[in-house]
Structure 1
C-alpha cells in the first residue's frame, strides 16, 4: 500500500461511490466561493482556485455523519460557510493567525440558502499558540489548511489527534508538489488515507497549470494531487 493510500480517486467518482449528491450543493458552493475564495493573479485576473475543497469536506461530513468540525486556516470563511449548510453540523471552530474580521464580514454578507453563520466560532490565534483552554469537547471532522510548512502541518495534525473522537476524519488541503513540506509530512503518516483529485473537476481553474496548482493537468483537471482524507480509526 504505497504511502498508505488505500485509494486515489477524483472528486466526482468519490461522491458517486459515497452516494453524495454534490449537484445539490454545487451552485451554492460556487456562490460562496465567489465571495469567500475568489483569487486574483498578479495581472489582476480573477480566477477560481480549487473551490472543490469545500465539496470534499461536505462529502466526508455526509459520509461519516460529522457534527463538529475543527478547521486550521479560516481564510475568508469559505469552507466553514459551506459546511454550515448541513443541518447535522452543530458547530465549526475555525482558527487563523490573521484577524478574523474579513472572514466574519464575508460570511455575514452571503445571500446563499442554508448558510448558517451562527454555527461558526472564530479564533484569531497563531496555530502554535492554541492550547487546550481554547477548545472544548471533541471534534469528529478536521480540515487542515493553515500554514503550509511541515512543522505547522505536523503541529495541527497532532493537536487534532488529541481533540477528536476515535472515529474522526481529518482532511488535509494542498497535497501537491507546490507545497513540498505539506506533501512530505502527509506521506509519512501511516494511517489509511484517500487522495482526492479535486481542482478543476467541478469549477474551472483557468490558471491551474501556470500556477502549479496541480502535480499533473489533463483537460484542465488535476491528477496526482489534491486533498487527503485520513481515517483516524484505521
Structure 2
C-alpha cells in the first residue's frame, strides 16, 4: 500500500483549499482533545483538510459517515460542498443526539482551552455556516439499527470512523457497500497496529488490499509545522480506497463469508450493548443520587 503525507496528497488532488488557519479554528471548537494530565492538543485536525479535499475532488452526492463525534468531519465535508456548489447530503450516524450535552474540550473566541458540557447543535450554530448545517442529516443510534432502516439514495462516498473494533469496522464497511452506487470512495480513519486501530488494519488487509489499490495517508499533526511533520510511521494513518465497480468488490468479499448471519449477529450484539449502556447510566444516576442524599 502506498504511503503518502497528507499535504502531498492534498496537493496531488489539485483542489484549492481554504486557509489552514480556518481549519485549525474550526478544529479548536469541534476536535480539540485533552490528555489525562489536563493538557490540550490538536488531534488530527488534518483529517478535516483531507475530507474537504476529497469531497471537492470527487463531488459526491450522498456521503455516509459513521461516527459524527463532535462534528469536525461532517462540517468540513459540508464546507467543501458549499464552496464547490455540490448539491449533496452528508448522512452522519452517532449514538449521541445532536442536542445532548457532552464533555467538550474547546477553545472559543481566542480564550484559553477549557472543558465544557455542550451539544453539537449548540456549537455548530456558533461556528458553522447555515449552508453547511443544511447539508448534514444527523442520524441518532448505533450503526446496525440505523442502517437496517436506511432507505435513502445510493452512497458514493463514505467516512468510516465509528466503532474501532474489527467487528464494528467490518459491519460499517459491508453495510456501506450494500448501500452504495456503482462508484464509491471510502476513507477509513485510525489505521494502526495499536489497539485503537488494529480493527481497521485487519479489515484493510483482508478485504481491501486483495482486490483494490489503496493509499495510506499520514495525517495526525503532520501538516507543515506539525509536531509529527517529519516523522514517518508507515503503519499509521487514514486509508483511502475507491472503485468503479462496487458490486464486483462486494461479490468477492461475500465469497469469503456469509453476510446475513454476520449482520444478524451484529445487531443482536448491538442490542446487548444498548442494554448495558442503559443499565450503566441508571447505576451512575442512582449512585449520584445516594451521594447527594448523604
Q: Structure 2 length normalisation: TM-score?
A: 0.68
Mean Cα deviation higher: 89-98 or 74-83: 89-98
User: What residue in structure 1 maps to residue 35 of structure 2?
Assistant: 41
Q: What is the aligned counterpart of 2:25 among 17, 28, 31?
A: 31
1:143 match: 159
CA distance in 1, matches of 2:134, 2:50: 22
User: 1:80: Cα distance to partner?
Assistant: 0.5
Distance verdict in 2 for CA 1:89–1:36, change over 3 Å? farther
Distance (Å, rounded) in 2 between the aligned partners of 1:201 and 1:14: 12
Alignment of 1:152-167 (within 5 A): 152-167=168-183
CA contact (8 A) 2:190 2:238 kept: yes
Distance 2:90 2:75 in 1: 9
For 2:233 and 2:135, locate their aligned partners in 1 and report how far apart those are by CA, in whole Å.
Answer: 32
Where does 1:53-92 land on structure 2 (aligned, <5 Å)? 53-86=47-80, 87=82, 88-92=86-90
| Equivalent position to 1:130, from 146, 156, 164 | 146
> CA, structure 1 residues 32+84, in 2 after alignment: closer, same or farther (shift >3 Å)?
same
Helix, strand or coil for the counterpart of 2:149? helix
Distance in 1, Cα, partners of 2:19 & 2:240: 20
Structure 1 equivalent of residue 93 of structure 2: 95
Q: Of 93, 104, 108, which residue of structure 1 is paired with 2:125?
A: 108
Instruction: Tell me what 1:232 maps to.
Output: 243
Partner of 2:191: 175
Offset at residue 44 of structure 1 (A): 1.1
> Contact 2:52 / 2:79 at 8 angstroms: preserved in 1?
no
Give the equivalent residue in structure 1 for 2:203.
185
Would you tell me which structure has more helix in proportion to its own residues?
2
1:11-40 per-position Cα deviation (integer Å, ceiling 9, x unaligned): 111112221234x24222211111111001
Contact 1:32–1:78 (8 Å) recurs in 2: yes
Match of 2:11 among 16, 34, 38: 16
Q: Secondary structure at the match of 1:108?
A: helix
- Whose radius of gyration is greater, 1 or 2? 2
SS at match of 2:181: strand
Unpaired segments ≥5 residues, structure 1: 207-216
Quick one: higher RCO (CA 8 Å, sep 6+), 1 or 2? 1
1:203 CA drift (Å) = 7.0
Give a deviation string over 1:106-156, Cα, whole Å, max 9, x none.
22220x568621111111111121234234111211000001110000000
How far apart, in 1, do the equivalents of 2:200 and 2:95 lie? Answer: 18
Q: Secondary structure at the match of 1:219?
A: coil
RMSD: 2.2
CA distance in 2, matches of 1:57, 1:186: 19
Distance 2:230 2:9 in 1: 19
**Deviation (angstroms), 1:221:** 6.5
> Which residue number corresponds to residue 212 of structure 1?
none
